[in-house]
Structure 1
Amino acid sequence: MDTILPYVTLGSAVLMIIAILLQQRGASLGAGFGSSGELFTTRRGFDKNLFDVTVVFAVIFVLSILASMILPGLQK
């Protein structure tokens, strides 16, 4: 178990970074000219799936870190 947790943590971190960088910022052309580009839109299609995958990677990342902190304490 100790040998796989660092790889799971590293892999989920890298995949989460990639998923975050693939997401769109939502800035429109009007935001470049001073208007607030804040427009609330719902996620649909690929954008929604990418958001869900990012959340899953974040949960896996946090759980793997917690497991690596708790499991060595149980072996003492």
Structure 2
Amino acid sequence: MQTYLIIAQIVLAVALTLSVLMQVKGGGLGGIFGQADSVYRTKRGIEKTLFILTIVLVVLFLLVSLLMLKLS
């Protein structure tokens, strides 16, 4: 059981790192193509999906970490 949790934690850590690195700081993905950063806008499409995925990965990582702590 402990081995599976360690593998799950490694996979979650890599996925979480990638999801954070894929997010563009500031104006979102539009900033890559020169869109103005001063305009307030909401996350849409893939930006919103990536944002929610990052939150889900953080929660799963914390749950696996706490479960490992409890079982050790």
- TM (norm. structure 2) is 0.78
Equivalence for 2:8: 8
Corresponding residue pairs, total: 66
Moved over 6 A (4+): none
Per-residue CA distance 1:5-63 (angstroms, 9 max, x = gap): 1111111011001000101112556xxxxxxx565321100000001111111111111
Consecutive unaligned residues in structure 1, runs of 5 or more: 30-36
> Which runs of structure 2 are paired with 1:1-76 in the superposition (5 Å)?
1-26=1-26, 37=37, 39-72=39-72
Consecutive unaligned residues in structure 2, runs of 5 or more: none
Q: What amino acid does structure 2 have at the position aligned with 1:55?
A: I
- TM (norm. structure 1) is 0.75
Q: Pairwise CA RMSD of aligned residues? A: 1.9
CA distance in 2, matches of 1:39, 1:20: 23
